[in-house]
């Protein structure tokens, strides 16, 4: 679930408030949005993709709150990592251009069905 709105990185654009599909954030009068309804977070990571400041962090756990440490996330190069992997960060090109899913399907093993 969403665990961090970085106070130092946030540029107060409120894009996360607008784009979150499950309306997790609230805008605030003094600027930095707050995580108002954390349990509604569906852990889709899209707020990170749209954040222009790499100020958000969605932890892997979809069901339970976990503590995160901003300095550690920065040290581990995790802030903004999803945006970069999509090629949406400044200077990036869409990762879609490098998509080899069609090649993978030809050589992949058994899918999960039935």
Partner 1 sequence: MDRSALELSTDVLVIGGGPAGTWAAWNAVTAGASVILVDKGYVGSSGATAPSGTGVWVIPPTDEARTKARTAREALGGYLSDHDWMNRVLDKTWHNMDLVEAWGYPFPREDGTAVKRGLQGPEYMKLMRNVVKRAGVRILDQSPALEMLVDGDGTVAGARGVQRQDDRPWTIRAGAVVIASGGCAFLSKALGCNNNTGDGYLFAAEAGGELTGMEFSNQYAVSTAFGSVTKTAHYSWATFTNEAGEDLDAVHDGHHSTSTIARALLQGPVYAQLTRAQGRPEIQAFLRFAQPNFFLPLDRSGINPFTQRFPVTLTLEGTVRGTGGIRLTDGSCATTVPGLYAAGDAATRQLICGGFTGGGSHNAAWAMSSGSWAGEGAARFARSLGEQHASRSVSGAGGAAAADPDAYIGGVQNEVFPLDKNLFRTESGLRSSLGTLDGLWRSLHHRAPQASARDAQRSREAAALVATARWAYASALERRETRGMHRRVDFPTLDPLQQHYQIASGLDTIAIRADAGAPPVATREPALAR
Contacting partner 1 (CB under 8 A), which of 30, 63, 71, 90? 63
Give, in order, the Cα–Cα distances in Å from 58 to each of 28, 69, 80, 98: 20, 12, 10, 25
**CB-nearer residue toward partner 1: 29 or 107:** 107
Which tokens belong to 13? 């654009």
Q: How far is the CB of 47 from partner 1 (least distance, A)?
A: 8
Site string for partner 1, 14-53 (x = CB under 8 A): ---xxxxxxx-------------x--x-xxxxx--xx---
Q: How far is the CB of 83 from partner 1 (least distance, A)?
A: 10
Closest alpha carbon to 9 in 68, 57, 63? 57
Which tokens belong to 28? 């605030």
Helices (H), 45-100: 46-50, 70-75, 81-86
Q: Which residues bind partner 1 (CB under 8 A)?
A: 17-23, 37, 40, 42-46, 49-50, 58-64, 78, 81-82, 85-86, 88, 93-105, 107-114
């Amino acid at each position: 679930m969403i665990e961090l709105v970085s106070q130092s990185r946030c540029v107060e654009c409120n894009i996360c408030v607008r784009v979150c599909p499950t309306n997790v954030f609230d805008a605030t009068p003094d600027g930095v949005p707050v995580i108002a309804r954390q349990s509604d977070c569906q852990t889709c990571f899209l707020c990170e993709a749209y954040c222009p400041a790499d100020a958000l962090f969605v932890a892997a756990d979809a069901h339970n709150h976990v503590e995160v440490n901003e300095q550690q996330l920065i040290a581990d190069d995790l802030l903004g990592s999803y945006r970069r992997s999509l090629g949406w960060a400044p200077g990036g090109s869409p990762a879609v251009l490098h998509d080899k899913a069609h090649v993978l399907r030809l050589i992949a093993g058994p899918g999960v069905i039935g």
